[in-house]
Structure 1
Amino acid sequence: MPDLPASHRLRTGRYAEPNQIYLLTSNTLDREPIFADFALGRLVVHQLRRAQDHGMAKSLAWVVMPDHFHWLVELENCSLRKLMRETKSLIAREVNLHSGRHGPLWQQGYHDRALRREDDLVKMARYVVANPLRAGLVGKIGDYPLWDAVWL
């Protein structure tokens, strides 16, 4: 493999197809815990829902952590690149506007994992929404406010 920056290596060989299910993760720049502020975390939620409302991807489960988000989606009428570029851009714009900050919000790139149909989607959704519990942010999943899953 050529010696490429990490953000470019993440894109090498990436292929996205409609109706494929992906687990997507994106981190804030320098893992700054921006979304520890609940109001700013809600801005992320708004953009995840917007992407679904616009037919880009069906949200199956998501969690917004203080410094990243996990998003289990079924890709619809959009590429992964467009979905993540647009979603991260709109989140950054809204967060910067509402918080008075400026400059980049996200680390470059994102992590994606395509799931096979036979993968246990409910198990993966549980993994996503249990992230705050594993991180020690709450004692039980229901105590964390920034998550959702279609199986509830």
Structure 2
Amino acid sequence: MPRKKHKWYDGAILHVTARGNHRSNIFKDETDYKLYLNYIKEAVEYYENKHYIIAYALMTNHVHLVIETTDCDISDFIRRAHSRYAGNFNKKYNYIGHLFQGRYKSELIEDDKYMLEVSRYVHLNPVRAQMVEKPEDYRWSSYTVYTGEKEDKLITPKRVLSYFNKGEEKELYKKFVESAIRGQNPG
């Protein structure tokens, strides 16, 4: 029986998640995180910039990617990056079997409010998992690109930052994200 197609349309923005098989770790050392990001970057280039990475958080046993598409569905993009990464992981660690637990999941982001909530959710994932106290302390997320602490051409934060006052967008985004840590209403 064929798989059900993911919801997608030209210009769709999706929150993609993929988990390690049996919730096992998919990253074991720093080079694994770097290699995964390299495969994502390579897939962006391979598909001639038809996908834009808006945000990401690479956790030890799963990943979160927020991806904007143009006229190209993400299924081939994710398959390319994940199969290459899994092949490398399996060889490096002498691992047999599926690295990822089934197919990735994706959820359409169809309004501005949800876009803001998803970006905050992704960037706070390491904090909520108690891996770090502050989102800027986690190396394997795009948060520091949003706050201006780091540059990364892979990330396209302008859509999310455009919701905030020009000239103050990075500071206001940081306050927006941190308000959820303190339990304040970000309204």
User: The TM-score by the shorter chain falls in which range?
Assistant: 0.7 to 0.9
Q: Output the CA distance in 2 between the equivalents of 1:51 and 1:61.
A: 16
Larger Rg over CA atoms: 2
User: Under a length normalisation based on structure 2, what TM-score does the superposition of the two structures give?
Assistant: 0.68
CA deviation string 1:89-136 (max 9, x = no partner):
111122234434343211111211001143342332121011000000
1:147 to 137, 141, 148: 141
1:35/1:66 contact within 8 Å kept? yes
User: Under a length normalisation based on structure 1, what TM-score does the superposition of the two structures give?
Assistant: 0.82
- The answer to whether 1:105 aligns with 2:107 is no
1:46-57 alignment, distance < 5 Å: 46-54=38-46, 55-57=49-51
- The answer to whether 1:123 aligns with 2:117 is yes
**Letter of the aligned partner of 1:89 in structure 2?**
S
1:66 to 60, 68, 79: 60
CA deviation string 1:51-87 (max 9, x = no partner):
2223241000001000000000101342232122112
Q: Which runs of 5+ in 1 are unaligned?
A: none
Q: Which has the higher strand share?
A: 1
1:27/1:67 contact within 8 Å kept? yes
What is the aligned-residue RMSD (CA, Å)?
A: 2.2
Which deviates further from its counterpart, 83-92 or 112-121?
112-121
2:20 to 13, 28, 32: 28
State, as a whole percentage, how many aligned pairs show the same letter.
24
2:7/2:108 contact within 8 Å kept? no
**Letter of the aligned partner of 1:41 in structure 2?**
Y
Q: Output the CA distance in 2 between the equivalents of 1:78 and 1:139.
A: 37
Q: Does the residue aligned with 2:87 lie in a helix, a strand or coil?
A: helix
Which deviates further from its counterpart, 50-59 or 69-78?
50-59
2:27/2:61 contact within 8 Å kept? yes
The number of residues matched between the two structures is 144
